[in-house]
Structure 1
């Protein structure tokens, strides 16, 4: 049976950010930590070795595959920041207002926080959380 590798754990978010080598990337990671914490209302938790997540939800697909994931999150990767959001109906429109980025199905990639509009980023955090709470309504608060 497949087991998820990216699980919530008790590793230190601060120690993880402190391990980021580039000073500017570390500074941006702290800025994102503040922005996600304040906007989401959830404390930061490590998911796996490299994702900082906020809140959690339990999903179950029609195939039977299920697991837990953060409502929103980010990771300071070597090449760029990966920002994790759920896909809502207004995603494409919101992305046009975000600023310089690349996007995948559930990830948005930015080089630095100054490349994006932080108000739009906050909107994306709130929208993702609302979308996931509506999609998976049988959640305990904070989990």
Structure 2
């Protein structure tokens, strides 16, 4: 059976952020921490060794695969900062069009630094993603 690798844990978020080598990336990570916490209304939690997540939901796919994931989150990776929002939501593309300088992957949005993006649009993306996931995967 599949064992989910990225799980919520009790690791210290501040300790993780202090371990970010590049000072500018660390500064941006602290700024994102504040933005995500305020916009989501959830406290930050570590997921795995490098993702800071806010809130959580339980998903079940048609295949039967299920697990838990943060509603939204971010990770200050070496190359870029990864932002985690819901996938599959058509409204996400409209917001990303106004977001600023970024690239997208299968499940992530990547930015170089906070100054490259519109923080108000980021807050909208956070709120919209949470609403989408809570509607799609209602919790008992």
Q: Shared fold (TM-score greater than 0.5)?
A: yes
- Deviating beyond 4 angstroms after TM superposition, the runs of 4 or more aligned structure 1 residues are none
SS in 2 for 1:92: helix
Give the gaps of 5 or more residues in structure 2.
none
| Counterpart residue number, 1:57 | 57
CA distance, structure 1, for counterparts of residue 70 and residue 91 of structure 2 = 20
| Counterpart residue number, 2:79 | 79
TM-score normalised to the size of structure 2?
0.97
Following superposition, the deviation at residue 80 of structure 1 comes to 0.5
| Counterpart residue number, 2:14 | 14
Following superposition, the deviation at residue 105 of structure 1 comes to 2.6
1:44 and 2:78 correspond:
no
Give the gaps of 5 or more residues in structure 1.
none
Computed over aligned residues only, the root mean square deviation of the Cα atoms, in angstroms, reads 0.7
CA distance, structure 2, for counterparts of residue 120 and residue 112 of structure 1 = 15
TM-score normalised to the size of structure 1?
0.95
Aligned residues: 139
